[in-house]
């Protein structure tokens, strides 16, 4: 069943202590919420976001108002339930649109699966996971930071270093009721000026990270501007020292929501492809094969990453 309805406000209460808004955001069926939450869980920034009891949770700020957000699949309806607590709840409609993009709710899963299944490699993967989505990100800035940190390290290793960044440059939230989300992710300016000595990254990568944070802080890199030209942004990122094609494509997948972004140099992805056909080690051969997956190469990458994660029982790739 396909539903393209707009987010619906289900309940809204207002009092001096704890304003709250609850939304139901519909998705196009099928929707593989389990793998979406697993993806977020394996990459959650320690202290900032978490996945608990089947829900994604984090403290947020929206237009100067603070709050906490929880997102989880509805028990019986084709939608996710979003609960916003705190002053940020007054921005429920805008936050709902943001969550819908982050959780890739309106991707046409049947059309994507039918397209990819034309390749015999993906026919069994799409049958096994017909509702696959490309998980997005709450913040484009946070995602780029993670992508830079994650260059040439494991998902687990990147998560550990990101947690250290939060401790070095983030801000604790006073009297926050949820200890696993009681930190604000570092602002671009704070990260640009933080002491990152002995944080676990090579000096060149630290320089690249802080240079990027400086560009965002000064407005030269308008990453989270919804009106920014994506082609120009990608070109600007690629021109920066320490940011290569993998980082740009990964950010395009998850932050810019480019369904055809292709992180083809990802080591885990390459290993999965070469295991299927050794000729995929040849760039031209891989490019020719991947061209058949357009315009959904991002979903092809997620299918491969998820297959590996299914087998390993842990987050792999991306």
Distance CA 22, CA 37 (A): 19
pLDDT at 315 over 70: no
The secondary structure element, H or E, covering residue 289 is helix 283-291
Cβ atoms of 41 and 143 within 8 Å: the answer is no
Q: Which residues pair with 61 in a beta bridge?
A: 66
CATH class, domain 140-254, is mainly alpha
pLDDT at 2 over 90: no
* Domain boundary assignment for the chain: 8-106, 140-254
Distance CA 159, CA 41 (A): 10
Establish whether the linkage from the previous residue to 251 is cis, with ω within 30° of 0.
Answer: no
More confidently predicted of 223 and 16: 223
Q: What is the percent of the chain where pLDDT is above 90?
A: 82
C-alpha angle 222-227-230 in degrees, rounded to nearest 5? 70
Closest CA to 145 of 199, 79, 181, 87: 199
- Tell me if domain 8-106 and domain 140-254 are identical in fold: no
Question: Would you tell me how many other CB atoms lie within 10 Å of the CB of residue 136?
Answer: 21
More confidently predicted of 223 and 11: 223
Find how far residue 176's CA is from the centre of its chain: 24
Distance CA 289, CA 235 (A): 25
pLDDT at 3 over 50: no
Return the minimum-mean-pLDDT range out of 14-28, 102-116, 212-226, 227-241. 14-28
pLDDT at 11 over 80: no
> Using CB atoms within 10 A of its CB, is residue 247 exposed (0-12), middle (13-18) or buried (19+)?
buried
> Using CB atoms within 10 A of its CB, is residue 299 exposed (0-12), middle (13-18) or buried (19+)?
buried
Instruction: State the pairing for strand pair 171-172/79-85.
Output: unpaired
Phi and psi for 4 in degrees, rounded to 5? -115, 20
pLDDT digits (tens, 9 = 90+) for 124-158: 999 999 999 999 999 999 999 999 998 888 889 99
When pLDDT is averaged across residues 205-224 and rounded to a whole number, the result is 94
- What's the confidence (pLDDT) of residue 192? 97
> Using CB atoms within 10 A of its CB, is residue 149 exposed (0-12), middle (13-18) or buried (19+)?
buried
Distance CA 133, CA 131 (A): 6
- Topology of domain 8-106, per CATH? TATA-Binding Protein (3.30.310)
When pLDDT is averaged across residues 192-200 and rounded to a whole number, the result is 95
Strands (E), the chain: 8-13, 20-26, 49-52, 55-62, 65-73, 79-85, 171-172, 183-184
pLDDT at 263 over 60: yes
- What's the confidence (pLDDT) of residue 14? 43
């Amino acid at each position: 069943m396909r539903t393209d309805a707009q987010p619906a406000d289900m309940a809204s209460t207002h009092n001096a202590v704890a304003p709250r808004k609850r939304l139901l955001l519909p998705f196009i069926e099928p929707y593989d919420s389990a793998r979406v939450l697993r993806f977020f869980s394996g990459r959650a920034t320690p202290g900032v976001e978490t996945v608990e009891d089947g829900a994604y949770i984090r403290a947020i700020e929206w237009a100067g108002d603070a709050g906490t957000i929880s997102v989880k699949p509805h028990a019986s309806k084709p939608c996710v339930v979003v609960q916003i607590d705190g002053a940020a709840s007054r921005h429920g409609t805008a936050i709902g649109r943001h969550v819908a993009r982050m959780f890739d709710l309106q991707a046409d899963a049947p059309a994507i699966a039918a397209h990819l299944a034309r390749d015999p490699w993906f026919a069994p993967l799409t049958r096994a996971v017909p509702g696959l989505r490309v998980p997005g990100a709450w913040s484009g800035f946070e995602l780029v930071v993670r992508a830079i940190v994650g260059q040439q390290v494991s998902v687990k290793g990147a998560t550990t270093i990101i947690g250290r960044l939060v401790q070095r440059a983030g801000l604790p939230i006073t009297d926050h009721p949820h200890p696993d989300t009681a930190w604000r992710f570092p602002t671009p300016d704070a990260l640009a000026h933080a002491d990152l000595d002995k944080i676990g990254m090579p000096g060149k990568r630290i320089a690249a990270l802080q240079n990027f944070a400086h560009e965002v802080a000064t407005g030269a890199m308008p990453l989270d501007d919804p009106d920014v030209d994506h082609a120009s942004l990608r070109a600007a990122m690629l021109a920066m020292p320490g940011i290569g094609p993998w980082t740009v494509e990964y950010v395009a997948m998850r932050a810019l929501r480019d369904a055809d972004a292709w992180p083809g140099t990802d080591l885990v992805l390459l290993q999965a492809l070469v295991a299927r056909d050794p000729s995929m080690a040849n760039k031209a051969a891989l490019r020719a094969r991947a061209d058949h997956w357009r315009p959904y190469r991002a979903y092809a990458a997620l299918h491969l990453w998820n297959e590996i994660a299914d087998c390993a029982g842990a987050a792999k790739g991306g």
